[in-house]
Structure 1
Amino acid sequence: MIKIRNRRELCSHGDIESRKIVLDIAEKTLNQLDSYQRIKSISHMEGSILHIGNRSWDLSKKRHVYLLGAGKACNHMAMAVDEILGDYLTKGIIIVKISEETDVFRHTDVYVGGHPLPNQAGYEACLKILDLVDQAGPEDLFICTISGGSSALMSCPIEGISLEAEISTTDVMLKSGANIYEVNAIRRHISAMNGGMLAKRIENTGAELIGFGISDAVGTPATKDIGIPYKQYASTPIGPDKTTLEDARNVIKKYNVADRLPKTVVDYLMNAGPDKETPKEFPNNTYYLLNTLPDSCILAKQAAEAMGLRAMILTSFLEGESKDAGTFFASVAREIMTYGNPISPPAVILSSGEVTTQILDNSSITGHGGPSQELTASFALLASKAKGACMFSIDSEGTDGTTPVAGGITDSTSCKTALEKNVDIPAALRGHSCYEALREIGDAVFTGNTGTNLCDLNILYVPDIKTQP
């Protein structure tokens, strides 16, 4: 399956050979990460028996089998489960970010929620999910497919907090400079779904829960045998929550957002008692972890080495301001090209994580963009000093920030191209409008849904200019 849909345009200009190398690595990596294939590789039906890895369930002994899901990779995850279960699936309800024409479901209703900001459609879908859960009993089975983005897509604020307040809270926190763990500490504690609250609701019915998840949390170890249930599963609507009410209160103070958040949210979080804490364990649930953040770098390294290239994983813990990361990678490219540190060229430098963009004043926004696009735009400003260097950065699920593209790819010629087309990259960075800038110079990467969700995937290629003609 082709993941990078506008490859021809991306390879029509600039440092073409460098671009081809980077895009080849990205294409191979995204195909191996696709959650549809990951679930199909460990799951199948044999008569009425559902086999998942080293476990099995007799579905003929279940009254109902339900599929619930949310997330930016949920399309592919849920399609696999819907296909595997066939007529054993009673009903499915999932909430996705983008519905594609290639999505095929037989027994599953699909709703398009809001991301990064929640919306009314996602909220209404959550009410349908909760109604379905409340009708369940001990003889029922829930199979849940959850990936990153579920906190926004599966939006259902607790009583006393409006949907508008939850939307405003998400908007403020995403622009505050807080990392995703800190953002989640707040929004999980005002949700009737997230932070394990959906799992708690299912647990209260006596029904069984099987969860498939993708972890986009920075610091989660690489996966090993994905067919073995994962004991440390946490931090989704269907797993135990590691954040606490005290964490949420500390985040409000750390980023000084008490006067910018809705009063109902601040009052609730500051005064909620221990009985309002999110659940911390679900010992009876079975979880399978399909992918984690380091997996993308590991697979990309394998792809690069199979192409005969030296490759190094710099970090899978990348965080901080996106434009600063772009400047850093341009500096790394120059160091490799000039001195052969930390690896001699030609070389591929890989990283993953979740960079962010701080926006304290919405009036400064002049267009659209996202962290990966800002990273590659910033890289372009210094890349002219590293001939042939090419930087690729995407949000691996397929949409970066508020845009329909996954991210960007720039190289040592991108600034020159921008000048020729009267595109002001520094102004685009200041106005957080890198989508318009990259699209104009033909450097915006379009994938659509990729079937995974592992935050940022960054690939830097540095050629050996001494061996080039």
Structure 2
Amino acid sequence: MKKIRNGDEILSAGDRSSRQIVLEIADRTLDRLDSYRRMRGIMRMEGSVLHIGTRSWDLSNKRNVYLFGAGKACNHMAMAVDHVLGERLTKGIAIVKVLEETDRFNRTEVFIGGHPLPNEEGHRASKKIIEIVDQSGPDDLFICVISGGSSALMSCPIDGISLQDEIDTTDVLLKSGAGIYEINAVRRHISALNGGMLAKRIQDIGAELIGFGISDAVGNPATGDISVPYAAYKSTPIGPDATTLDDARATIINRNVADRLPKTVVDYLMNAGPEGETPKAFPDNTYFLLNTLPDSCIYAKEICEEMGIPAMIVSSFLEGEARDAGTFFASMAREIQTYGNPVKAPCVLLSSGEVTTLIEDNSVIRGHGGPGQEMAVSFAITAAKTSGACLLSVDTEGTDGTTRVAGGITDSSTARAAADKGINLYQALRDHSCYEALEAVSSAIFTGNTGTNLCDLTIMYVPELQRGA
């Protein structure tokens, strides 16, 4: 396997035949989504001319060419630009979540930022980015590569709000049950770079910006021809921001977090005037959109069809509590295998989106985990009633929640295997210790950095019910 590194271990446990099918679909989907491959497919240098898809730039007309990047897929995206430009690149700064031994850069300085919570190194890198922009002029070119996670990794709060305030704000919001749009509405309006503020800085000096993005926002349509500039690009540090100050205020009120957020943040957001709003348009920038959330399901479905397995996309809008989603998929598996609704077995059901985990009290946490792992554990409990049913749920960028693993894979035999080891899966869900439970039964998925970032991908395989089962 190219992306899933512990496939042999995973196949040593549980229902091997079902796991093999699900792992192959996942691995091939992640490989197809790799941003390095996609960017190198549309980007090349010919002499002094940089070609990106249908557009070209003569770099001999540029004084400096800078590369800025942030996000959980930034490693591969930044390497693509760094490798194509070579000596034409003046300097690059990339803020990544995990630095892999195989990452190779020529003129790019790499910082390991914090995610899901910001850290000092990401803050330091962000300050360097601001220094470079503020010393630049209209003859400079900025190439920016951004993927999901940039809001935490490229951390630079506005004056009057400290880095610790931003860390605490992110922590509270992530545990509040808020969706990513709500969380971003708050984070972007207290940032000096996010929510389009980096693009605004570049615009203010009259320089040109070329942006590459991967959109993990629920609701964006599938990508088309990625060689054509994308006119409707939004959000992240380099595009117009769709969230508003009113959205940020509504999040604080609706999620009832005013008394848990730092006072500096609440006071600022509740009292900010129009000058505190984020920018809403950048008509002169050029953007290329590499992937969007529905792409993972579309590619996975095509791969299933190549394998001769009927597949159905259930939703590319999946949100809500992770454990509830796991129970729902297990119930669907039983319906399919027993009654053939909504599709007959054998089949694959696919979904993408961003499920969440509500943690109102940190004192209940007894281990580690993430939404994908909680979804897989929850599935295992109910799927014990459906012979051979198998579900994989991963965060496509390679790290789920606070763990080093991408997510989990469980099947109809997992609950029994866990019980045999003295593991109570209900307790693992209550304690938010699903990582430890999955590791114990060889059901945690390890990928490392995948080169993409499209939130959650869920793949469920349901075999035919064997006679006598």
Question: What interval of TM-score do these two structures reach, taking the shorter chain for normalisation?
Answer: over 0.9
1:187 maps to: 187
Query: Aligned AA for 1:91?
Result: K
1:443 maps to: 443
Contact in 1 for aligned 2:372/2:400 (Cα 8 Å): yes
Measured after TM superposition, the shift of residue 337 of structure 1 is: 0.1
Query: Aligned AA for 2:121?
Result: A
In the TM superposition, what are the counterparts of 1:160-309 in structure 2 within 5 Å?
160-309=160-309
Query: Aligned AA for 2:319?
Result: E
In the TM superposition, what are the counterparts of 1:139-154 in structure 2 within 5 Å?
139-154=139-154
Aligned equivalents of 2:436 and 2:291: distance in 1? Answer: 32
Q: What SS does the corresponding residue of 2:159 show, helix, strand or coil?
A: coil
Measured after TM superposition, the shift of residue 466 of structure 1 is: 3.4
In the TM superposition, what are the counterparts of 1:304-343 in structure 2 within 5 Å?
304-343=304-343
Measured after TM superposition, the shift of residue 322 of structure 1 is: 0.1
Aligned equivalents of 1:320 and 1:398: distance in 2? Answer: 21
- CA offset digits 1:323-382 (Å, max 9, x no partner): 000000000000000001111000000000000000000001111100000000000001
TM-score, length basis structure 2: 0.99
Q: What SS does the corresponding residue of 2:269 show, helix, strand or coil?
A: helix
1:93 maps to: 93
Aligned equivalents of 1:465 and 1:110: distance in 2? Answer: 51
- Equivalences, count: 469
TM-score, length basis structure 1: 0.99
Measured after TM superposition, the shift of residue 467 of structure 1 is: 7.1
Aligned equivalents of 1:133 and 1:431: distance in 2? Answer: 46
Runs of 4+ in 1 over 2 A off after TM superposition: 465-469
Aligned equivalents of 2:421 and 2:166: distance in 1? Answer: 41
Name the % identity: 69
Contact in 1 for aligned 2:395/2:407 (Cα 8 Å): yes
CA gap 1:226/1:467 in 2 versus in 1, 3 angstroms: farther
Aligned equivalents of 1:464 and 1:216: distance in 2? Answer: 34
1:358 maps to: 358
- CA offset digits 1:224-274 (Å, max 9, x no partner): 000110011011000000000011011111011100000000000000000
Is 2:110 the partner of 1:107? Answer: no
2:415 maps to: 415
Contact in 1 for aligned 2:350/2:458 (Cα 8 Å): yes
Query: Aligned AA for 1:220?
Result: N
In the TM superposition, what are the counterparts of 1:398-437 in structure 2 within 5 Å?
398-437=398-437
Q: What SS does the corresponding residue of 1:24 show, helix, strand or coil?
A: helix
Aligned equivalents of 2:170 and 2:14: distance in 1? Answer: 38
CA gap 1:467/1:216 in 2 versus in 1, 3 angstroms: farther
Q: What SS does the corresponding residue of 1:203 show, helix, strand or coil?
A: helix
- CA offset digits 1:103-126 (Å, max 9, x no partner): 000000000000000001100110
Is 2:11 the partner of 1:5? Answer: no
- CA offset digits 1:4-23 (Å, max 9, x no partner): 00000001121100000000
Is 2:381 the partner of 1:381? Answer: yes
Aligned equivalents of 1:468 and 1:271: distance in 2? Answer: 67
Aligned equivalents of 2:273 and 2:430: distance in 1? Answer: 42
For structure 1, list consecutive stretches of 5 or more residues without a partner in the other structure. Answer: none
Aligned equivalents of 1:465 and 1:49: distance in 2? Answer: 60
Query: Aligned AA for 1:384?
Result: A
- CA offset digits 1:51-109 (Å, max 9, x no partner): 00100000111000000000000000000000000100000001000000000000000
Contact in 1 for aligned 2:175/2:360 (Cα 8 Å): yes
Aligned equivalents of 2:436 and 2:235: distance in 1? Answer: 35
Query: Aligned AA for 2:352?
Result: S
1:155 maps to: 155
